[in-house]
Structure 1
Amino acid sequence: MTDTTDYRRLFDLHDRRVLLLGAGGIGREAGLALAAQGAEVICGDRDADTAATTAEGVTGAGGRATAVELDVTDPADLDRRLDEIGDVDVVVLTAAINVRKRLLDYSVEEFDRVVGLNLRGSFTVLRAVGARMVARGSGSIIAFSSIRARTVEAGQGVYAATKAGLEALVRTAAVEFGEAGVRVNAIAPGVVETPLTAQIRADPEWYRAYATKGALGRWSTPSELAGAVVYLASDASTFVTGSTLSVDGGWTAVDGRFVPPT
């Protein structure tokens, strides 16, 4: 049997509709990259201004985009919006929050807020989007995890637990949706210069410490995550599912930057 794949079109997304859930920061750059490859991008966010700003950025760069206000933590609202949007080929979920506190200092309310968006919200998206894609027989779901799903530190326990749980949901969804032709994967960034990391970046010592944890010796920018999103959205990854793609500058591959004498 001869494979007739046209490798020139591996990353061509002109026939894809993409729903972006979480349109700021990394989501914005993902939207710009997807549109640059030809995709139609629906920018969804709980904050209507964020969704609109990203959509305007995409159209301003020559891409196709619209904005929609939605809440991934509200199953009824998400279902209603998905019905209005119609069929989508790709869903990218970036929405997440973090409360940096040690476990003994965490309140139940803070725990519920972080778990409510990061884990319950992810479950809500997988269930709602997955049902529609499975019924249609195709689709790619891309969820954003974190290196914290595998490496933890003081003050990151609840966030880490939600990301580890997210990866378990992604693997399970990949198994359950796979026979219908739906792929489900995660991307695990390292340290990225986004509003979520503003507290760290404001402390020069803390900033340098994180920069030197990875093999490349620096932080990443949101644009450096966009290529992984395009890959998992495209035909270049048609046999990739149930995976977590680390885009962490080597953080999880090395034990800091110290080079011991040999």
Structure 2
Amino acid sequence: MDYANLFRLDGKHALVIGAGSGIGRESALALAAHGARVTCADLNLTAAEETATLDHELAGRMAAYQLNVLDDAAIERSITELEAVDVLVFTAATNVRKRIIDYTIEEFDRVVSLNLRASFQLVRAFGRGMAERGSGSIIGFSSIRGTTVEPGQSVYAATKAGLVQLLRTAAAELGPNGVRANAIAPGVVETPLTAQIKANQAWYDAYAQKGALGRWAQPSELAGAVVYLASDAASFVTGSVLAVDGGWTAVDGRFDPPN
């Protein structure tokens, strides 16, 4: 075993969906830094291009690609337009924070369509080619909300729990063909999706204190988990949920009992 190169991704083509910002952007940069050729896919092509050109040293290994994951035909086209994908990473998600009785069917459909239906389409589309080639790594982003919930998170939480089961099933079905499928479950991360919370200082502080580290994560702190699951360092890891949550799901509140 060549441990010195255990995390290297030379010769691999990684497709990162949601690469225009946040965790997707940092994941794309990290994968490229470890030797992968990275296609930075996003609905916002300008944002994807910014990611692909952000680091001049990595620019030769990164390319931008516009992709609307809500468009089934666009996903099918991407299979033929892009070179064979060895690593699939998808981060795109949305949330509508409302109590169940206040939710509309339109809002339900919007969250489920992006968070779960699009994920299903991506796993099915790119997993097929990986299985035919006999190798591949699929990495989807779940959430602590796939395990723990709070008021106002019903549909988002349901999609994130559903994504875990989707990826576990993909691991079971595609594993005999050499394809691994895993989920990463972040805690609170400073991304555009959490802007509503960041704007409320009391809410922001309460979340910071929920985990063991007493702070929020930066998007870059999720990139290591992506590289790990994409690389040979995780060659026997599949069907797993890797929590990168600062201890949120391990710690029972922040009360420190007296000795």
With the length of structure 1 as denominator, give the TM-score of the two structures: 0.96
Residue 140 of structure 2 corresponds to: 143
- Equivalent residue in structure 2 for 1:39, among 36, 40, 48: 36
Q: Which amino acid aligns with 1:72?
A: V
**1:58, distance to aligned residue in structure 2 (A):** 4.2
Q: Which amino acid aligns with 1:12?
A: R
Quote the Cα distance in structure 1 between the aligned partners of 2:60 and 2:213: 32
Quote the Cα distance in structure 2 between the aligned partners of 1:57 and 1:234: 23
**1:71, distance to aligned residue in structure 2 (A):** 1.4
Same amino acid, percent of matched pairs? 64
Q: Which amino acid aligns with 2:175?
A: G
Q: How big is each residue's C-alpha offset from its partner over 1:158-209, in whole Å with a ceiling of 9 and x where there is no partner?
A: 0000000000000000000000000000000000000100000111100110
User: Which runs of structure 2 are paired with 1:1-262 in the superposition (5 Å)?
Assistant: 5-23=1-19, 24-59=21-56, 61-62=58-59, 64-262=61-259
Quote the Cα distance in structure 2 between the aligned partners of 1:11 and 1:260: 41
Quote the Cα distance in structure 2 between the aligned partners of 1:62 and 1:113: 34
**1:216, distance to aligned residue in structure 2 (A):** 0.6
Q: Which amino acid aligns with 1:208?
A: D
Quote the Cα distance in structure 2 between the aligned partners of 1:61 and 1:91: 19
Quote the Cα distance in structure 1 between the aligned partners of 2:11 and 2:113: 34
Q: How big is each residue's C-alpha offset from its partner over 1:51-99, in whole Å with a ceiling of 9 and x where there is no partner?
A: 1111111445555110111111222111101211020110101010111
SS in 1 for 2:210: coil
Q: Which range is displaced more, 55-64 or 203-212?
A: 55-64
**1:146, distance to aligned residue in structure 2 (A):** 0.2
SS in 2 for 1:44: strand
SS in 2 for 1:260: coil
Q: Which range is displaced more, 44-53 or 117-126?
A: 44-53
Where does structure 1 differ by over 2 angstroms across 4 or more consecutive aligned residues? 58-63
Q: Which amino acid aligns with 2:150?
A: E
| Aligned residues: CA RMSD | 1.0
CA change 1:172–1:58 in 2 (3 A) is farther
With the length of structure 2 as denominator, give the TM-score of the two structures: 0.97
Quote the Cα distance in structure 2 between the aligned partners of 1:147 and 1:65: 30
Q: How big is each residue's C-alpha offset from its partner over 1:112-157, in whole Å with a ceiling of 9 and x where there is no partner?
A: 0000000001100110011111111110000000000000001111
Q: Which amino acid aligns with 2:179?
A: V
Q: How many residues align?
A: 258
**Contact kept in structure 2, 1:59 and 1:65, CA below 8 Å:** no
Q: How big is each residue's C-alpha offset from its partner over 1:24-62, in whole Å with a ceiling of 9 and x where there is no partner?
A: 210000111111111111001111112111111144555
Unaligned runs of 5+ in 1: none
**1:260, distance to aligned residue in structure 2 (A):** 1.3
